[in-house]
Amino acid sequence: MSDTTVKKVTAAHSPTGDLGQTYLVSGTRLSMRLWDEGPTDGLGSHSRPYETVGYVLEGKAELHIGDQVITLESGDSWLVPEGAEHHYVVHEQFQAVEATAPPARVDDRDDD
């Protein structure tokens, strides 16, 4: 029999990480986070052991990945491949939802 467990997570009561992320629902193969941050010059390039896809709810940022610079604005979606060196520069209040696979978990590997 397949798993029929349903999870609901209310963002107002979700844990947050050291980088400002709010952890939303997480399954065994996928998790979601909410980002809501003001302008920043970025935190330096890093890589993660998971693939990330995101969707911009509002604001404007740049994604620097390799020698590419991609402008992200409301309605845009993006992909960062697993292991890719990247960083973000936020130009105006930025709110986005990301999904990661395998899951980036609040109690795991995400805040380094």
Cβ atoms of 101 and 50 within 8 Å: the answer is yes
Residue 13 lies inside a defined structural domain of this protein: no
What pLDDT was estimated at residue 77?
98
According to the model, what pLDDT value does residue 43 have? 73
**Domain holding 47: CATH number?**
2.60.120.10
pLDDT attached to residue 112: 42
pLDDT value of position 48 = 92
26 within domain boundaries: no
Q: Is residue 38 part of a domain?
A: yes
For residues 74-101, average pLDDT: 96
pLDDT of the residue at 20 = 82
* Token reading at 40: 């920043």
What confidence tier does 41 reach under pLDDT thresholds 50, 70, 90?
A: confident
Q: Is residue 8 part of a domain?
A: no
The domain of 76 spans: 32-101
In a domain, 1, yes or no: no
| Average pLDDT estimate for 33-47 | 89
> E strands of 1-112, at which residues?
21-26, 31-37, 51-65, 68-73, 77-80, 86-101
For residue 94, tell me if it sits in a domain.
Answer: yes
d(CA 86, CA 57): 21
Total number of domains in the chain: 1
